Amino acid sequence: MSADSIPETSVAGLIQRLLDSPSPPPRVSEMGRVKEVADGVAIVTGLTSALADEVLAFASGVRGIVFDLEPGRLGVVLLGPTEKVSPGESVRRTHRVIGVPVGPALLGRVVDATGRPRDGQGPLDPPHDRPIESPAPGILDRRAVSRPLATGIRAVDAAVPVGMGQRELIIGDRQTGKTSIAVDAILNQRDTGVHCVYCAIGQRGDAVAKVVGAVREGGMMARTVIMAAGDEDVPGLVHIAPYAAMSMAESFAAKGHDVLLVLDDLTHHARAYRELSLLLRRPPGREAFPGDIFFIHARLLERAGQFGEGRGSITALPVVETQAENLSAYIPTNLISITDGQIYLSPRLVRRNQFPAVDLGVSVSRVGGKAQARAFREVAGNLRVTLSQFEELEDFARFGTRLDEDTRARLARGAAMRIALRQPERDPMPAAEQLAILLAAMEGLLDGLDEARALRAMTRVRQAITEDDGGLAACIAADEPLTDELRATVLAKARHAIGPAEGDGDDADA
């Protein structure tokens, strides 16, 4: 029977059509082999055409990133458990760089450094992937920092203001409240429309759980993405985490949103990068860090800023840990030179029970002052000088020298100002309430009150301003100067809130 006589609907006709159809072109796939495996890295041979930062797929299901390109071998950073990879197993190229899911589907979720959910709420909606590495916007694509990003913390908003698009470093020893500053800044965005991305780098699981709980209780989870690359994860995931978080922030900024990005903390990130570099036999430098440690943080933070042409902004709050208040260590000095200022948290203030422990003598904001409201500048303009002079007088008064009336008054004013800057965590404060308390302290309404009475007085001032601020919030929002009439109105409300209640308290004590 000839081929022409076979019915096309029969099985034989189907087979004949398959035989007559052109054969598919050959598919060439480059395969390699694992030569060595170490803690978090692997040495691969046979992939002569692989590219830098390309994703490789191992036969065991683990993925890796090409880190080193050397003749005859590749240094690969693993993104999965090292124990699953064994010498001799096959490796293939994927012809793509590492990316991360981005978009609104991530809001309210807890994910790892590759965008996989870690909160047990099911898979993400089909997301759009974005490479974790991208070039920083050029000068012409940026705009000046001109809008404030309120943190709700009096010591920060008054003396170390942060502007949208700024990179402000949070620096200090362990257990000084660095994460609390960042979390309170996130919680204060509840009524601003700012999207937030919190990236936990090398943190313990219980610490991340506390942050998740605080954000959820503060009502900001619906506009926050939390990324966790914990200390139990492989160093490769810790290394890519801040870049993945920045890509998520860039996706929101590209749609016109303002984004607050917290990187907590880059000390662990630098240590993970050092570990990977030493395992791959890269030459060590100062403190055994590789020579490009400055570059990996600079290229990350340069992607933040205030952008134009319908784009939003990315405000970065990187966190770095110091040891024994050593600000001149390698990684802290690198990040201080990269960022636009730093909020320094002092252990000395922690021992004095001064929270937040912001040292205004060392903290500085090189950009945010241009975005600070005029009313804040008028009231808190000499706050830093007042506190520094108070501390000098306080040290002098410890010698037991007899002091004149003017010196005692300055000591009372400085003590009142220091108490006015105290604020419990998870209690970010609206700008009008902050300004009313600062104005009351600067005008001497808290002078002579002990700590307990001063704290009660500040609570009553907050309540009075919440009920009727006399137009103070509108003045701050419109960036208008504080008029004499408005100043007098706010002081009258503060004086009324403080005076009678304290008098009643004194009578009761008597």
| Chain segment 455-497, per-residue pLDDT in tens | 999 999 999 999 998 899 999 999 999 999 999 999 999 999 9
Do the Cβ atoms of 241 and 227 come closer than 8 Å? yes
CATH 2.40.30.20 segments of the chain: 31-100
CA distance 319 to 215: 18
- Direct distance between the N- and C-terminal alpha carbons of the chain, in angstroms, rounded to an integer: 121
- Give the residue among 448, 428, 444, 425 at the shortest CA–CA distance from 494: 444
Please, which residues bridge with residue 201 across strands? 229
- Give the residue among 155, 56, 144, 100 at the shortest CA–CA distance from 363: 155
Work out the pLDDT band at 403, boundaries 50, 70, 90.
confident
Mean pLDDT, residues 104-113 taken together: 95
Strands 90-97 vs 224-229: parallel, antiparallel or unpaired: unpaired
Do the Cβ atoms of 368 and 168 come closer than 8 Å? yes
Task: Please report the pLDDT score of residue 397 as a whole number.
Answer: 81
**DSSP codes of every residue in 150-191:** --S-HHHHHHS--BTT-B-EEEE-TTSSHHHHHHHHHHTTTT
| Chain segment 366-396, per-residue pLDDT in tens | 998 889 999 999 998 888 888 988 888 888 8
As given in the structure block, the two tokens for residue 319 are 């966190």
Mean pLDDT, residues 143-157 taken together: 95
Task: Please report the pLDDT score of residue 507 as a whole number.
Answer: 40
CA distance 454 to 257: 40
**174 annotated binding-site participant:** yes
CATH 3.40.50.300 segments of the chain: 105-120+130-371
Give the residue with greater pLDDT, 504 vs 209.
209
CATH 1.20.150.20 segments of the chain: 379-509
Q: Domain 379-509, CATH 1.20.150.20 — does that match? A: yes
Please, which residues bridge with residue 198 across strands? 226, 262
Task: Please report the pLDDT score of residue 399 as a whole number.
Answer: 76
Please, which residues bridge with residue 344 across strands? 171
Work out the pLDDT band at 9, boundaries 50, 70, 90.
low
Type of residue numbered 309:
E
**179 annotated binding-site participant:** yes
The CATH code that applies to domain 31-100 is 2.40.30.20
For tokens 């402000």, the residue is: 168
Which stretch of 17-21, 159-163, 487-491 has the lowest confidence by average pLDDT?
17-21
Residue 39 sits at φ, ψ, to 5 deg, of -75, 95
Strands 73-78 vs 258-264: parallel, antiparallel or unpaired: unpaired
- Give the residue among 501, 495, 486, 377 at the shortest CA–CA distance from 444: 495
Query: Which residues have CB under 8 Å from 268's CB, separation 6+?
Result: 201, 202, 203, 231, 238
Work out the pLDDT band at 8, boundaries 50, 70, 90.
low
Give CA 111 to chain center in angstroms: 16
**175 annotated binding-site participant:** yes
CA distance 162 to 145: 9
| Chain segment 410-450, per-residue pLDDT in tens | 899 999 999 999 999 999 999 999 999 999 999 999 998 99
Do the Cβ atoms of 261 and 304 come closer than 8 Å? yes
CA distance 341 to 167: 7
As given in the structure block, the two tokens for residue 27 are 């598919």
| Chain segment 262-288, per-residue pLDDT in tens | 999 999 999 999 999 999 999 999 999
Task: Please report the pLDDT score of residue 505 as a whole number.
Answer: 44
CATH classification number, 105-120+130-371, choose in 3.10.50.40, 3.40.630.40, 3.40.50.300, 3.40.1160.10:
3.40.50.300
**176 annotated binding-site participant:** yes
What positions carry a catalytic annotation?
Answer: 366
Give the residue with greater pLDDT, 498 vs 508.
498
Q: Coil, strand, or helix at residue 112?
A: coil
CA distance 19 to 372: 76
CA distance 109 to 116: 10
**322 annotated binding-site participant:** no
Task: Please report the pLDDT score of residue 503 as a whole number.
Answer: 46
Please, which residues bridge with residue 320 across strands? 171
Mean pLDDT, residues 333-359 taken together: 95
DSSP state of 148: B
**122 annotated binding-site participant:** no
**84 annotated binding-site participant:** no
Task: Please report the pLDDT score of residue 309 as a whole number.
Answer: 83
Q: Coil, strand, or helix at residue 447?
A: coil
* Dihedral of alpha carbons 148, 151, 156, 158, sign: positive
Type of residue numbered 356:
P
Type of residue numbered 50:
A
| Chain segment 183-240, per-residue pLDDT in tens | 999 999 999 999 999 999 999 999 999 999 999 999 999 999 999 998 889 999 999 9
Burial class of residue 311, CB neighbours in 10 A (0-12, 13-18, 19+): buried
CA distance 133 to 136: 9
DSSP state of 444: T
Residue 391 sits at φ, ψ, to 5 deg, of -65, -35
pLDDT at 5 over 60: no
